[in-house]
Each structure stands twice: as C-alpha cells, then as structure tokens.
Amino acid sequence: MVPKLNLVALAVMALYTAIASADEPGTSIFSLRSFGTLGIVHSSESKADYSPSFFKPNGPGYSRSWSADVDSLIGVQVTGNFTPQLSAVLQVISEQRYDNSYSPYVEWANIKYQFTPDFSARIGRTVLPAFLNSDSRKVGYTTAWVRPPTEVYSLVPVSNLDGMDLSYRFYVGELSNTVQGNYGQSDSRLPGNAGKALARELWGIANTTQYGAFTTHFAYQKGLVSVEPLNAFFDFFRYFGAEGNALADRYDPKLEPIEFIGVGASYDPGEWFLMSEWGRNAFRSGLIARSGWYVSGGYRLDAFTPYVTFARSRAESESSTAGLTASALPPFLAGAATSLNGALNSILQSNAGQQTLSVGVRWDFTKNMDAKLQFDHTRLDTGATGRLINAQPDFEPGGSFNILSLAVDFVF
C-alpha cells in the first residue's frame, strides 16, 4: 500500500512545482502542506473485525491479527491565494476505502471569498462542522489520541459535504465567536459493493466560541438520509402486505429526516488539557438513532503526554421488535418471514450501546512528528456488536474486547 500513498503526494507535489515554476521565485500564490499517519492495530476479538469507520471493509481481529488499515493515511493540501479576497483549497487523501483499495479521493475542494476579514463564503466540497475537531478530523497530529472516540464521532460518520457555507466571526472583548451555516449533500460508498449512504438537503449551523484557553462548540444538522442496502432489505417486507409495509415504513431509512445535535468544550492552558463532547441523532428509523459522550484529559510532561478517555454510547430506540406474524402465514412463507424477523432483530440489537476506557501516551520525538501508544477496553451492551464487523457464525454479541494501537503522525 505504501507506493500508492507516495504516488498521491508525488502527484500533487509535481502539480505544485509546475505551477510555482511559472512565477518569479518567492512569488507563487500556491502553498503545499502534507499530513499523515502510519499505524498498526491489534484486536483481542478473533471472531469479528474491528473498524471505527462505517466505510472500511475489514480490520484487525478475524481477517488478520494486526492491521495497518485502521488508521494509516496520507493527505496533501494545496492552497491558492489568488487575491486578498479570493482563495481555493484542494485536499486529497489516500486511506483504506470501501473496496479495500487506497485510491485517492478528494476530501476538500472549494473556492472561498473573504468579503471582510470576519465574513466569508465557500462553495464546493467543505468540512462538515459537527464536532470540536471537525477541521482536523483526518489529521492525527492535532490530537493526543490515536483516533477520536467512536462513541461520539461515529454519530456523523461523514466528514464533508458538497455545497456551500457561510462563516461570520465577531468579538466581545477577548472573546471570539464564529457562527457557521452550511447547506449541501453527500454520497458515501459502503463496503462490499452494497451501495451508498446518501444525505440530501443537509443544512445546519455551528457556533464556536474561544476565550483564552477555553473553547466551546455547538452544532445542529438536519437532512434526509438513505442507506441503500437497508432500503433493499426492507423491500422484502413489503411483499407481506399491510403488516410488512407498516414495518418497512417504520424502519426503512429511505430519504428519512434525521437531526444531529452536538455540544463540546475543551480547556487547554498548555501544560494539560480537558475536553468533552456529547451528541445525539434523532432519526425516525430505529436503526440509526443513537447518542454518545466522552470525557478526555491529559498532562504534558516535556515531550510526553499521557492521557485517559472514557466514552459511552447508547441506542435511542427499542432494541427488538416482534416483526412479521409468521404463524398467520402459509407454511411456504412462514420460513421467509421468520428469517426476515431474525435479521431485523439482529440489526436492532446491534445498535445497542457500548462503553470504552482508553489510556495512552503521545511522544513528540521530533519536530512535526509524534508517536502514540493507546489501549482501549470496550464493553458492549447486551446483544450489541458496536464497531465489530465481519462477525463469524460463532461470534457472540455483547461481551468485551481490547484494542492496542500504535501510530506515528506527521505534518509538513
């Protein structure tokens, strides 16, 4: 995989060099930055794979004892400042994708116009400002953790949208407040060629307040969501008449309204940090509605930062349903109805919550680079699978498992 990662950086660097060479030395309007993570992860659960992302097809556990695919990525960002008001940014990332490849994709691609020093507009592919660390979600170097707590950050698994946003900043004494509004849509491919997760008519507002070492963040997002493989699954229920249609109408996420609300705060005076976030999805379908929170803190001892995080998530809907009344159906249909009921109950139960205790240390061993070691102990609620995928027939939901992660981050 490493050659593919290097090709991404080399391609963008070549483009940058070609453009810069057309200008006088030192007068290029373009700048280049790169970032990345090289990581390896081990899971104690051998009957399923661990994956913190909905869009990765496998991970450590069943498929392999150790995996470099969970956290490893490389990204490059080219910024063009054409005038004092007009600029553009292109960010390309290569990481494990839905098809198990490292094909580069565009994370950001937008044009920005700065009407005033405090008011701007962007159009194109921009960041989705759902969390405290949304702007640097893919840049591991910016946080003490190996990865953000999945109990919260999986509530909004997509990190960008195609559309536009507006940003306005104002000051009250030493306090800085930024209000951001966005509108757009996103398409995300799911593993195994299962289809896409679609978000349409997505709009929201975010507010970030900074006062010295203290930062707060609030976000509200609303839109319509479809999950194509689940749409196909619930189409089978509709063959069973009114009862099947009622179940499909209740649970099928087919352009159904979804709302997300998130709040967070951090205090970082330099020697130590403390931060926390909470989020909740409100979704009419019981398949996706969840809430989660975490608290994390660490202390900086020269080049070392030991830290601890506790996170919790839970389902926001019932964990099971009776499903179709198989006993009222002819024998040749009862078996199919029973199978559908079992699959539906399994999906609903898998949405139950989990809690994770993480301890780790970050070592800033040289300029612009760090090394991290993190241990996670996750306990699943009864019937839950959490972020375990590719479960084997003898896998038992619930229980607990451990994750050991090692990573090196860089920015240049």
> Low-confidence residues of the chain, pLDDT below 50?
1-24
Q: State the pLDDT at residue 27.
A: 64
What is the token pair recorded at 405?
Answer: 């992660």
Q: State the pLDDT at residue 12.
A: 46
Q: State the pLDDT at residue 3.
A: 40
Give a yes or no: residue 404 inside a domain.
Answer: yes
Residue in 356, 355, 357, 351 with CA at minimum distance from that of residue 383: 351
Distances (CA, A) of 155 to 51, 106, 151, 314, 356: 14, 22, 7, 11, 16
Residue 382 CB neighbours (<10 A): 11
SS3 of 28-93: the string is: CCEEEEEEEEEEEEEECCCCCEECCCCCCCCCECCCECEECCCCCEEEEEEEEECCCCEEEEEEEE
Give a yes or no: residue 24 inside a domain.
Answer: no
Buried b or exposed e, range 120-129, using 16+ CB within 10 angstroms = bbbebbbbbb
Give a yes or no: residue 330 inside a domain.
Answer: no
Give a yes or no: residue 115 inside a domain.
Answer: no
Give a yes or no: residue 84 inside a domain.
Answer: no
- Chain-centre distance for alpha carbon 82: 32
CATH number at residue 163: 2.40.160
What is the token pair recorded at 15?
Answer: 């483009």
As for how many domains the chain has, the answer is: 1
Q: State the pLDDT at residue 74.
A: 98
Domain that holds residue 131: 34-70+127-318+349-411
Q: State the pLDDT at residue 319.
A: 56
Contact status, residue 234 vs residue 243, Cβ threshold 8 Å: no
Which residue shows structure tokens 């330099």? 270
What is the token pair recorded at 3?
Answer: 């050659």
Give a yes or no: residue 106 inside a domain.
Answer: no
Give a yes or no: residue 109 inside a domain.
Answer: no
Q: State the pLDDT at residue 332.
A: 86
Contact status, residue 164 vs residue 123, Cβ threshold 8 Å: yes
Q: State the pLDDT at residue 95.
A: 97
Q: What burial class does residue 76 get, using C-beta atoms within 10 Å of its C-beta: 0-12 exposed, 13-18 middle, 19+ buried?
A: buried
Read off the pLDDT of residues 115-166 as tens digits, 9 standing for 90 and up.
Answer: 999 999 999 999 999 999 999 999 999 999 999 999 999 999 999 999 999 9
**d(C-alpha 233, C-alpha 124), whole Å:** 33
Q: State the pLDDT at residue 253.
A: 86
Give a yes or no: residue 121 inside a domain.
Answer: no
The torsion angles phi and psi of 42, rounded to 5 degrees, stand at -120, 140
